[in-house]
Amino acid sequence: MEKIKQLIAESNAQFRKADHLAYVTYPMVRETKLLYAIAEVIYDSLEKGVRAVLEYERMYKRIPLVPGALETELEIFKDVAERYGFNRNIVLLLMDLKRLVDAKKKSPVEFVRRDKFVICDDDYTMSVLDINKIKAYVMDSREFIEKLNRVMMRIK
């Protein structure tokens, strides 16, 4: 149970950090490269939240212990999400953020253009981040984090 509490605390801390970066820090400094950092923090927050729910399910042996990639855990989370009333769109958001983080790691080229952060892959397929997209990510994440906190408070 301690690991679950720790994951939830870390998820909340990461979300608060992303929220502050998006709504306070970014408007003040207007550094476009900060957009990717915010997306990465949101990704970390959501991943820890999902892992907390899955740890809780494993603790009561409702799901198997499946070591592996995030994609495998997200497939399991889709079924668990219904039990607790989580919006299944959070899985799509998490997959989108994972794709973005992976693209940045493998990216040969990234640049800033008109308040947008552009990441290109080897084929020059572009992923574009702007503040509106980041704020949408934060709003969708807020719904998940609030629900996570309500559900886990009930459980404790």
Q: What is the mean pLDDT of the chain?
A: 91
What CATH number corresponds to the domain at position 28?
Answer: 1.20.120.330
Does residue 154 carry a pLDDT above 60? yes
Q: What is the 3-state secondary structure (H, E, C) of the chain?
A: CHHHHHHHHHHHHHHHHHHHHHHHHHHHHCCCCHHHHHHHHHHHHHHHHHHHHHHHHHHCCCCCCCCCCHHHHHHHHHHHHHHHCCCCHHHHHHHHHHHHHHHHHHCCEEEEECCEEEEECCCCCEEEECHHHHHHHHHHHHHHHHHHHHHHHHHC
Q: Tell me, yes or no, whether 104 lies in a domain.
A: no
pTM for this entry: 0.92
Predicted confidence band at 116 (pLDDT cuts at 50, 70, 90)? very high
Q: What are phi and psi of 154, to 5 degrees?
A: -65, -35
Predicted confidence band at 110 (pLDDT cuts at 50, 70, 90)? very high
Predicted confidence band at 155 (pLDDT cuts at 50, 70, 90)? low
Does residue 107 carry a pLDDT above 60? yes
The pLDDT of residue 80? 87
CA 133/CA 129 separation, integer angstroms: 6
Task: Report the domain count for the chain.
Answer: 1
Q: Tell me, yes or no, whether 151 lies in a domain.
A: yes
Q: Tell me, yes or no, whether 33 lies in a domain.
A: yes
Q: Dump pLDDT digits (tens) for 130-146.
A: 999 999 999 999 999 99
Q: Tell me, yes or no, whether 48 lies in a domain.
A: yes
Domain span at residue 46 reads: 2-99+132-155
Q: Tell me, yes or no, whether 86 lies in a domain.
A: yes
Does residue 120 carry a pLDDT above 90? yes
Q: Tell me, yes or no, whether 66 lies in a domain.
A: yes
Encoded amino acid at 45, one letter: S
CA 74/CA 84 separation, integer angstroms: 15
Q: Dump pLDDT digits (tens) for 56-89.
A: 988 888 887 766 777 888 888 888 888 888 988 8
Q: Tell me, yes or no, whether 113 lies in a domain.
A: no
Q: Tell me, yes or no, whether 111 lies in a domain.
A: no
